[in-house]
A and B are shown apart, each in its own frame.
Chain A
Amino acid sequence: MMGKLLTADFLKIKRKGLWFLTLLGPIGVVALQMVNYGVRKDYLLQQSDDDWGYFLLNIHSFTPLAIVLGIAILTSFMASIENETNAWKQLIALPVSKLSVYLSKFTVLAILLFLSSTLLMIFTLSYGLFLNLGEPVPYLELAKFSYFPALAALPILALQLWIASVCHNQGIPITVGIFGVIFAYSSYVLPDWMIWKWPSLMNQWDEPIINVMLGVGIGILLYIVGMIDFARRDVK
């Protein structure tokens, strides 16, 4: 049943700009560094002995913001496909369980998010090689900086999808999304327990993996809570 729902959901996101956004996010993040390194490459290379590491840190300074913003927009688009003409009632009157309907939406968004991360990794690597940052290329670090923020952002995805699919007024998830972006922007001053801080991979122990584990754990938890609430509600 999941496979059928997924192919249907991928068909429904056609012409909605979701694929475009998935592409735009990583391009934007890398493009900012293209400007940065394009203007003052020599100065930036002087800042650190580890040119690749410094480059990755620069890339990473915008990744959390792009992810939080991207998630807010993608979830809202995703929910709007069903909300626009209240197609929820048509979808749920089909022989499918409500849980799998919700899981399918979440899966599509997660796939888009990880596609975006993969693209980020490819673009970062390409531009890094173009800048000639030297050997060896830190592939492991590169993968960490590409996928960790997305994994740490899973709770935000789960929360935004929950709000977007139970609120008929799309102003609410958008508002939450905007606050999320503001929070993500001010990660430095946020306490460690705020989920919007996690994609920045910062915490008091300086261990990014903690954010990833928290992200996956709390992400699953929030997903389950959202799914149960979605299934419990009457379809208007």
Chain B
Amino acid sequence: MDIYLPIAGLSVNALMIIGLGGAVGFLTGLIGVGGGFLTTPILIFYGIPPAVAVASSTTQITGTSVSGVLAHRRRKGVDYRMGAVIIAGGVLGATLGGFLFRFLQGSGQIDTAIAILYVLLLGSIGFLMAREASTALGFIKRKDAQSKKKPRHNPLIASLPMRWRFYRSGLYISPLAPLALGFVSGILTVLLGVGGGFIVVPAMIYLLGMSANVVVGTSLLQILFVTGATTLIHATTTKSVDIVLATLLLIGSVVGAQFGVRLAQKAKPELLRLFLAIICLGVALRMALGLGWRPSEIYTVQLL
């Protein structure tokens, strides 16, 4: 069943795209990550222009994060004050990212930049997560050095001026730290079409020291708003949001997520994290090989 995508300007197999959305949604429900880091590269492999892939998968993430935010709100797992600070940083970062995106597009380096960023991010996060999950599962012996008591606050963050109280997070820290965190993830959202949860969640736990029960909900709130803002930025600047593509992806991912959630209640969380780590490393490896191998197309065409 072929469907013509009006913005991407080509026909795709609708069932294939819905299936991709479903698979990514399944992972979202299973592990709690947005899945944009999988959607964008797969869409690019499939032949969708990178700009359209990035912009439309951002739109899709907005949709998938809604149900998560609602669920966490019901059990009071969202720190709105912290969320607002990170969102403010995220929108600033997304605006800057929009300029960066157009600059890289103009100089012809956007594809390479996207690939390198993916390799670095997925590679390092996949590696860290794999090590952590293997330790938890007992595949690797825990090092004694790690059991040493760490200070609750990162000294660098504690030294920042102007402290605010974040009650639900149980923190008394400078808002500049979450603002900077939001800023970085906002740039990544625009450039890579990812929600940024896979950066923000570890940073919230290990750098900011937020209480664990509000981390995922607050991160999802931030993703919801920042991807929404990013969709607007892409729609007005790069004009590459394909509403038909995003809708197809969403139909799949909304359904897939529900099945993922059901399986997640039965499976071991460490095993799931190991599984996710392997996927991250796999995608990173595939993109690294893509950078190093002689590409099938030496020449590319861009309209002026």
Q: Do A and B bind each other?
A: no
